[in-house]
Amino acid sequence: MNFDFSEEQLLLRETVARWCAGRHGLDTAKRREARRHPGGFDRAAWRELAELGVLALPFAAEAGGLGGGPVEIFAVAEPLGAGLATEPFTESLVMAGTLLEAAGEGPGRAALARVIAGEAVPAAALGERAGRYNLHHVETRARADGGGWRLSGAKSAVWQGGAADLLVVSARVSGDARDAGGLGLFLVEADAAERRPWVAADGSLAAEVAFRDTPATFLECDATDALETALDRTWLAASAEMLGVASMLFEQTLAYVKTRVQFGQPIGRFQAIQHRMVDCYAALEQGRSMVCRAAAKGDTAAIAAARAYLAEAAIAIAHEAVQFHGGMGVTDELIIGHGLKRIQMLARLHGDQGVAAARYAEAA
């Protein structure tokens, strides 16, 4: 298939790339400084993305967004990955924002407006320990309380949960833990829940979250459909971001093997190194092809296939980058180690390679 960005999509992609270069610049000192902010990233940078329209891009015009589709998500997520941005576009904006958008008019749209304006950071509190990566395994319970709702239960590995202002929570209104129906989505002010933050591999602030008769607002939508849509969008963004990180690591490593001298010559002249770099290039181009296809088709099968492939290929490229840089490759002094850690997190976001492959098998 032929895939080309439109003029507007190219401009969007280049705008995000320039912003990343100016704000982050693949500077490990800047990255460490950003991670020292409360929540693990600079809120000023989040507001800058809002001013650029990036936070409004994935959502429909009637929801206050700019009506971007899968290709626009690809056009934003890839340069964010290549720039190793600390702002949680994929795991926070795309996942939680899509769930808020599904709620239609009312509290969900009001919360989404705060997110689009850069005033709030949302997090999707979906996974539970016993459910592993199955987002439909939900033991957290919701009960009606007068005109509102109360939640009781716990959520595990809530990405950006330690930084969030708003939580979008899946809870069971009826039925047993693995029933197909009976799910609802609820909006909770993050400070109303009990949060135990922890630092993820990439330096972001995740959390374990507990609800003990916590007040919540019911979001009017089909929770099952909303979760499926949000997962597709998030996996597409994660695949594109991994592609961007892997591309950056490849370029950094290619430059390095041309200058690192061993036995009197650059290591890039050794045939074994050349073969391994060619393998990385081939994997990278295959990954790009699959993300292009996923963005163009926008269906579950294509997205799951890209996610399954990139979860393996991007990590393999990152491991080679670390190997070629030697012991320094895994330290915080080089951007290589930061890239590896970001890929490791994205490769397990709401499901690992095996989960993505199984989802592809079901959808194909």
The model's pLDDT over 28-43, given as tens digits with 9 standing for 90+, comes to: 999 999 999 989 999 9
Interval 205-263: pLDDT, tens: 999 999 999 999 999 999 999 999 999 999 999 999 999 999 999 999 999 999 998 88
| pTM, rounded to two decimals | 0.96
In this predicted structure, what is the pLDDT of residue 2? Answer: 74
Q: Please name the residues in contact with 7: beta carbons below 8 A apart, sequence gap of 6 or more.
A: none
The tokens describing 26, both together, are: 């693949």
How is the chain split into domains, by residue range?
7-116, 122-221, 226-363
Fold agreement (7-116, 226-363): no
Q: From CA 33, how far away is CA 280, in angstroms rounded?
A: 31
The tokens describing 268, both together, are: 């890039």
Q: From CA 152, how far away is CA 314, in angstroms rounded?
A: 38
Closest CA to 205 of 157, 274, 242: 157
Compute the average pLDDT of residues 126-141: 94
The tokens describing 169, both together, are: 């929570």
Instruction: Determine what percent of the chain is predicted with pLDDT higher than 70.
Output: 100
Q: From CA 218, how far away is CA 213, in angstroms rounded?
A: 14
Domain 122-221 CATH superfamily? Butyryl-CoA Dehydrogenase, subunit A, domain 2 (2.40.110.10)
The alpha carbon dihedral of 170, 176, 180, 183 has a sign of negative
In this predicted structure, what is the pLDDT of residue 364? Answer: 85
What rounded mean pLDDT belongs to the chain?
A: 95
pLDDT at 1 over 80: no
Furthest-apart CA atoms within the chain: distance in Å:
78
Q: Please name the residues in contact with 85: beta carbons below 8 A apart, sequence gap of 6 or more.
A: 20, 23, 24, 45
Q: How confident is the model at residue 309 (pLDDT cuts 50, 70, 90)?
A: very high
Compute the average pLDDT of residues 44-67: 96
CATH 1.10.540.10 fits 7-116, yes or no: yes
Domain 226-363 CATH superfamily? Butyryl-CoA Dehydrogenase, subunit A, domain 3 (1.20.140.10)
Interval 144-195: pLDDT, tens: 998 899 999 999 999 999 999 999 999 999 999 888 789 999 999 999 999 9
Per-residue three-class SS string for 339-358: HHHHHHHHCCCCCCHHHHHH
